[in-house]
Amino acid sequence: MSNGKLQSCGKMIRPGPQAGEIGRRDLLYRFGQGIGSIALTSLLAGDGLLAAESGGPDPLAPKKQHLPAKAKSVIFLFMSGAPGQMDTFDPKPKLRELHGQPITRKYGSLEKRIYVGSPFEFARHGKSGMEISEIFPHLAKRADDIAVIRAMHTSAEAHTTATFFMNTGETIPGSPSMGAWTVFGLGTENQNLPAFVVLPDLRGGVFGGSINWGSGYLPAYYQGTLINSVGDPIVDLQPPEGVTREQQQRNLTLLNELNASQLGAQPNNPHLLTRMKNYELAFRMQTAVPECLDLAKESQATRDLYGLDDKQTEPMARKCLMARRLVERGVRFVQIFSDGWDSHENIAREHRNRGLETDKPVAALLTDLKQRGLLDQTLVVWGGEFGRTADNSMDFFRSGPGRDHNQNAMVMWMAGAGVKGGTVVGQTDELGIRCAENVYHTHDMHATMLRLLGLDDMRLTYYHSGRFKRLTNLGGKLIKEILV
């Protein structure tokens, strides 16, 4: 060997490609293929020709539903910490009769506990006569638009695992979220905005963090994008001072050309394609996101409707109004987090405050969607990670009665596309401790949500770790009573 070249019969022989390498001609051929594929994908996407069942070359292109759909998008209002069912939408007169009476039951260890009646009055509202707590006076006016599911239960009783379960259908981290499954099944209708947006509560973090809106074992295209409701919506969204869009476009073109050569050599590398798509989306979002979230363009009537100029309602009002603007522009899934519902003590004060913060904005969201003709195509879901107990420990009772965690009974409601408003489904026992009639599980809620989007939960699968997996695990049953 001499100077890195082989000699044979006096002739110089250049080494051929080794195992795992590709030759120069093959490299150039694959490079050309990669650039051509990207160009073709862009042209087809621009002409709306990628809406095939598989999604075509673009994983975020609109896809064909399994079944006729009622909803095009979802707004999920997550009440983090878990509202008490008997303090919101499931009145329990018997429990109020027992208020202050001692009981003995096992909760972690044998301890003295006290029955806690709801401190809130209930009244009937709407043509349906739905019973709703006094902490929701504005939402009560929309009683005939919502369908309450009283006999719900779930599979975990700790905040983090229960939050995982509500959002991913599993109690342990690593599975795709509801929003990720939705985008995987349907794609997006706006290529300039994220398909799945998360609006957090800035007072604190979500139990379990970003795993709750992650893509798990699905490709990373489908994960949620966290957007702040105040300040910069996304950190570093705008380029540094002095960098023009033309410069960014040239940089992005060069980066895609370099990445395309690698993609040709590694056609089965999902992470590389995801990175390329994310760079492109980030560039387009610099214009689309600020325009979408510019609430200054809203009328004073709309600001008043949501409570945007009131200090107490402003945080939730901002998120609900953002959610309307996002789905209006084709975003597929928006998740709003409202923190502070974990009322182990002084539920009279804490739940009332949560009502004051969220009631007007949530009711406004339903009103606004309806008057714009968007409620018929938008599914709105409200609920927490589990329910709450009918009793409290003696120590908490003395400082102000509250409630502990309860996975055996909880309440949720849905409204909008395909939902029969004014409906109440299921019953819990007389104290609200356990489900009694027409009982449904979290998986059933997931299955119903997917069905309204035109997706069959048993067919929406992804092969991982030796089996086909789904949001509803072994499947869920439809909550048929609430469906139109």
Q: Give the tokens for residue 429.
A: 């026992």
- The answer to whether the beta carbons of residues 158 and 81 sit under 8 Å apart is no
Classify residue 385: in a domain, yes or no: yes
Q: Residue 133: helix, strand or coil by DSSP?
A: strand
pLDDT at 341: 97
pLDDT at 394: 83
Q: What is the distance between the alpha carbons of residues 22 and 466, in angstroms, rounded to a whole number?
A: 31
Query: What's the pLDDT at 103?
Result: 86
| Across 266-293, average pLDDT | 66
Looking at this protein, which amino acid is placed at residue 69? A
Q: Which residues pair with 463 in a beta bridge?
A: 468
d(CA 279, CA 248): 11
Total tally of structural domains belonging to the chain: 1
Q: β-strand 427-428 against 378-383: which pairing, if any?
A: unpaired
52: in domain: no
pLDDT tens by residue, 462-483: 999 999 999 999 999 999 999 9
Q: Domain range spanning residue 330?
A: 73-233+293-482
State the pLDDT at residue 290.
Answer: 73
pLDDT category at 15 given cuts 50, 70, 90 is very low
340 and 81 Cβ atoms separated by less than 8 Å: yes
Question: Is residue 365 within 8 Å of 324, Cβ to Cβ?
Answer: yes
Confidence of residue 268 (pLDDT cuts 50, 70, 90): low
Asked whether the beta carbons of 314 and 307 are under 8 A apart, the reply is yes
| Segment 29-70, tens digit of pLDDT | 444 444 444 444 444 444 433 443 333 367 889 999 999 999
Whole-number mean pLDDT of the chain?
85
Residue 361 amino acid letter: P
Structure confidence by residue, pLDDT tens digits, 156-173? 999 999 999 999 999 999
Question: Is 79 inside a domain boundary?
Answer: yes
Please report the pLDDT score of residue 114 as a whole number.
Answer: 92
The answer to whether residue 399 is domain-embedded is yes
Q: Residue 368 domain-assigned?
A: yes
Mean pLDDT of the 175-201 span? 94
CA-based nearest residue to 377, from 339, 410, 332 = 332
Q: Choose between 251 and 152: higher pLDDT.
A: 152
- Determine if residue 17 is left, alpha or beta; phi over 0 gives left, psi from -120 to 50 gives alpha, anything else beta: beta
CA angle 183, 184, 186 (to 5 degrees): 60
How many Å apart are CA 394 and CA 82, to the nearest integer?
21
Structure tokens at 68: 């006729």
Establish if 252 belongs to a structural domain: no
Instruction: Give tens-digit pLDDT for 96-111.
Output: 999 999 987 665 555 7
Residue 369 has pLDDT above 90, yes or no: yes
Per-residue pLDDT band for 297 (boundaries 50, 70, 90) equals confident
Strands (E) across 190-329 are located at 196-199, 225-226
Q: What's the pLDDT score for residue 273?
A: 66
Is the pLDDT reported for residue 313 higher than 60? yes
**276 has pLDDT over 80:** no
Instruction: Tell me the chain's radius of gyration from C-alpha atoms.
Output: 26
What is the domain-level CATH number for residue 324? 3.40.720.10
Vertex 443 angle, CA 441 and 444, to 5° = 65
Residue 203: the pLDDT is 85
Find the range with the poorest average confidence among 50-59, 84-93, 268-277.
Answer: 50-59
* Residue scoring higher pLDDT (233 or 382): 382
pLDDT value of residue 6: 37
Using CA atoms of 331, 333, 338, 342 in order, give the dihedral in degrees to the nearest 10: -170
Q: 300 falls in which pLDDT band (50, 70, 90)?
A: very high
Residues across the chain: 484
Model pLDDT for residues 402-441, shown as the tens digit of each residue: 999 999 999 999 999 999 999 999 999 999 999 999 999 9
Q: What are the angstrom distances between the C-alpha of 382 and each of 68, 168, 309? A: 24, 16, 24
Nearest 5°: CA angle at 325, between 320 and 328? 125
Residue 246: Cβ within 10 Å count: 8
The answer as to whether 16 is a domain residue is: no
Q: pLDDT confidence of 279, banded at 50, 70, 90?
A: low
- Note the pLDDT of residue 105: 67
Q: From residue 186, give the alpha-carbon distance in Å to each of 141, 182, 195.
A: 33, 6, 10
211 and 164 Cβ atoms separated by less than 8 Å: yes
pLDDT score recorded for residue 233: 62
For residue 329, is it within any domain? Answer: yes
